[in-house]
Structure 1
Amino acid sequence: MVRTSASDLWPAVHAERAALAEDLADLDEDRWAVQSLCGRWSVEEVVAHLTAAASLGRFRWLRSMLGARFDAGLHNQRRLEEHRGATPAETLQRFRAVAGSRTAPSKDTAAWLGEVVVHGQDIRRPLGLPRTPPVGTVTEVARFFAGRDFAVPSRSTAEGLHLVATDGPFETGSGPEVRGTTLALTMAMAGRAAYCDDLTGEGVPILRSRCTPA
């Protein structure tokens, strides 16, 4: 079933957070230090970032951004450090504590679903963890990403390309075709070049050239 309302999307956000926490429950300390697909951040740092994202309402987010002079990178790093524990186990415990949160800087619930879907795969792929979010969940993120440049320039990344999911209803745009799973298309729109390896079509080189470090 395709989710279209915030009341439907929040349970999906909560389910993805819980699934990620479960995937990480038995991770040894060395693997917490593995570099994720999200720029320079380690697995543990991405988890701390997700905790921060689930802990900041609009006012606290705005105050943090003002303090960082609207440097999103600095804002994210400060909040990550705030929510990172003294050990990976504590970092995971803090993430579990906000798994059911509906706190967010804006009402763009699809964006916060995208936050946990994308960062979940930023973690899982380097660690070789097999879970894939449900197609219906990822389809909502793909549609949001194709329609707006929000936390990532996803709409611009997909511009002029015809994206076609091979496992669900997502299809958008016109131009050189790019085919693959909804998850691979979504991750590529989020700038993760590694997922371009999972795609086919004449538009793949164009899409890959637009992927930049997170």
Structure 2
Amino acid sequence: MKERLGALIWPVVHDERQALIDDLASLEPAAWRANSLCLRWDVHDVVAHLIDSAETTRLGFIQRMLAAGFNFDRDNAVGVTREKTAEPLETLAKFQAVRLRTSTPPAALATRLVEAFVHGEDIRRPLKIIRDYPPEHVATALGYQVKTSVKIGGGKEIAQGWRLVATDTGFEHGDGPEVHALAITLLLAASGRPVAANELTGPGAAAFHAATIKEPA
């Protein structure tokens, strides 16, 4: 079962990594310093984090957590510092070098999809780069997020009390006022990222946006 799931998920992750590498290859130096959707991280930091995550093994993750006193933010900061180089294109080359890796922390494989899609948008949205993500795989990531607690990186509490309906897939989840949007928009919202009010429709859209989402600057 795990092997079959991996055969479905890893090619998508690898494709998303390459698509992001392609988008970043021609960035102006200033763009690498632009704020991402990740609090306190710029674009360069997010790429460094993606390298760090791609290199993380299950055993390595446990050792790192011990070293960081089980503080995820502290461990992430250490990883970014380790992988970030002085020159953005050098960091990008490091990302290219780990593109096909299948290392993963001790978590569900669906988290690799969450990371690829959400961090991709963390970078692309501030830079006004548009990507058409594969909706069926985004829906898989979204299905994981809405069933997983915020405490371990999910969005269960954010999604609770709403009926989330993806307009580009058959995904539906929850009970309450309906909120309609593309699967990638719902995934971002469930991951605590800002989306614009006009990306959401349905009877519950305005209330959902007001309750859970901060408008992007």
TM above 0.5, yes or no, is yes
Asked if 1 retains the 8 angstrom alpha-carbon contact of 2:158 and 2:212, the reply is yes
Asked if 2 retains the 8 angstrom alpha-carbon contact of 1:149 and 1:155, the reply is yes
Structure 2 unmatched runs, 5+: none
CA drift of 1:196 comes to 4.8
CA drift of 1:108 comes to 1.3
User: Structure 2: which amino acid aligns with 1:105?
Assistant: P
Distance 2:197 2:158 in 1: 12
- Paired residue for 2:153? 152
CA drift of 1:169 comes to 1.1
Aligned residues: 209
Q: Deviations over 1:92-142 (max 9, x none)?
A: 111111111100112511101110110000100000101121112211111
**Range with greater deviation from structure 2 (49-58 or 140-149):** 140-149
CA drift of 1:197 comes to 4.3
Asked if 2 retains the 8 angstrom alpha-carbon contact of 1:160 and 1:175, the reply is yes
2:131 equivalent to 1:131: yes
**Range with greater deviation from structure 2 (148-157 or 66-75):** 148-157
- Paired residue for 1:206? 208
- Paired residue for 2:189? 188
**Range with greater deviation from structure 2 (125-134 or 193-202):** 193-202
CA drift of 1:148 comes to 1.6
Structure 1 SS opposite 2:195: helix
Asked if 2 retains the 8 angstrom alpha-carbon contact of 1:34 and 1:42, the reply is yes
Asked if 1 retains the 8 angstrom alpha-carbon contact of 2:61 and 2:106, the reply is no
Q: Deviations over 1:39-60 (max 9, x none)?
A: 1100000000010000010111
Distance 2:66 2:203 in 1: 43
Distance 1:121 1:11 in 2: 19
Q: Deviations over 1:158-197 (max 9, x none)?
A: 0111000111111111101110101101110000122554
Asked if 2 retains the 8 angstrom alpha-carbon contact of 1:184 and 1:196, the reply is no
- Paired residue for 2:114? 114
- Paired residue for 2:142? 142
Structure 1 SS opposite 2:51: helix
Structure 2 SS opposite 1:164: strand
Q: Deviations over 1:54-97 (max 9, x none)?
A: 00101111111111111111110001111112210111111111
- Paired residue for 1:8? 8
Distance 1:154 1:196 in 2: 19
Distance 2:191 2:173 in 1: 15
Alignment of 1:66-105 (within 5 A): 66-105=66-105
- Paired residue for 2:34? 34
Q: Deviations over 1:11-30 (max 9, x none)?
A: 11111111111110101110
**Range with greater deviation from structure 2 (27-36 or 138-147):** 138-147
Of the two structures, which has the highest relative contact order with CA contacts closer than 8 Å and spacing of 6 or more?
A: 1
CA drift of 1:211 comes to 4.6
Asked if 2 retains the 8 angstrom alpha-carbon contact of 1:85 and 1:94, the reply is no
Distance 1:197 1:76 in 2: 33
